[in-house]
Structure 1
Amino acid sequence: MYPVVKRILDFVCSLLGVILLSPLLLVLALLVKCGSPGPVLFRQKRVGKNKTYFEILKFRSMRADTPKDVPTHLLQNAESAITPVGRFLRKTSLDELPQLFNILAGQMSIVGPRPALWNQDDLIAERDRYGVNALTPGLTGWAQVNGRDELPIPVKAELDGYYAVHISFWLDVKIFFRTISNVLFGRGIVEGKH
Structure 2
Amino acid sequence: MDGCTVQALIRFFDILFSVMGLVVGLPLLFLVALIGWFDTGSPLFRQERVGRYQKPFTLVKFRTMKPGTTSVATHLADGSAVTPFGRVLRKTKLDELPQLWNVLKGEMSLVGPRPCLSNQEELIAERAARSVFEARPGITGLAQVNSIDMSQPALLAEVDRRMLDQLTVGAYFRYIFLTVVGKGAGDRLRQ
Correspondence for 2:74: 72
Deviation of 1:149 (Å): 3.0
Correspondence for 2:112: 112
CA distance in 1, matches of 2:148, 2:23: 28
Structure 1 residue runs of 5 or longer lacking an equivalent are none
- For the pair 1:36 / 2:34, whether they are aligned, the reply is no
Correspondence for 2:189: 191
CA distance in 2, matches of 1:72, 1:2: 31
CA distance in 1, matches of 2:151, 2:179: 16
The residue identity in structure 1 corresponding to 2:54 is K
Deviation of 1:126 (Å): 0.6
Once the two structures are superposed, the pairs formed by residues 124-139 of structure 1 within 5 Å of their partners are 124-139=124-139
How many residue pairs match? The answer is 187
- For the pair 1:145 / 2:145, whether they are aligned, the reply is yes
SS at match of 1:55: strand
Deviates more, 1:14-23 or 1:84-93: 84-93
Over the aligned positions, Cα root-mean-square deviation in angstroms equals 1.6
SS at match of 1:64: coil
What percentage of residue pairs aligned between the two structures are identical? 42
Deviation of 1:95 (Å): 0.6
TM-score for the superposition, normalised by structure 1: 0.91
Is the Cα contact below 8 Å between 1:71 and 1:117 reproduced in 2?
Answer: yes
CA distance in 1, matches of 2:186, 2:116: 17
Deviation of 1:129 (Å): 2.1
Deviation per residue, 1:124-160 (Å, 9 max, x gap) = 1111222111100111011111123386211111100
Alignment CA distance shift 1:130-1:56 (3 Å): same
Correspondence for 2:10: 6
SS at match of 2:142: coil
Residue from 48, 53, 59 that aligns with 2:62: 59
TM-score for the superposition, normalised by structure 2: 0.92
CA distance in 2, matches of 1:155, 1:149: 9
Correspondence for 1:49: 52
Deviation of 1:189 (Å): 4.5
The residue identity in structure 1 corresponding to 2:26 is S
CA distance in 2, matches of 1:90, 1:188: 8
Deviation per residue, 1:17-71 (Å, 9 max, x gap) = 001110000000001000123x221000111111111000000111111012x01
Structure 2 residue runs of 5 or longer lacking an equivalent are none
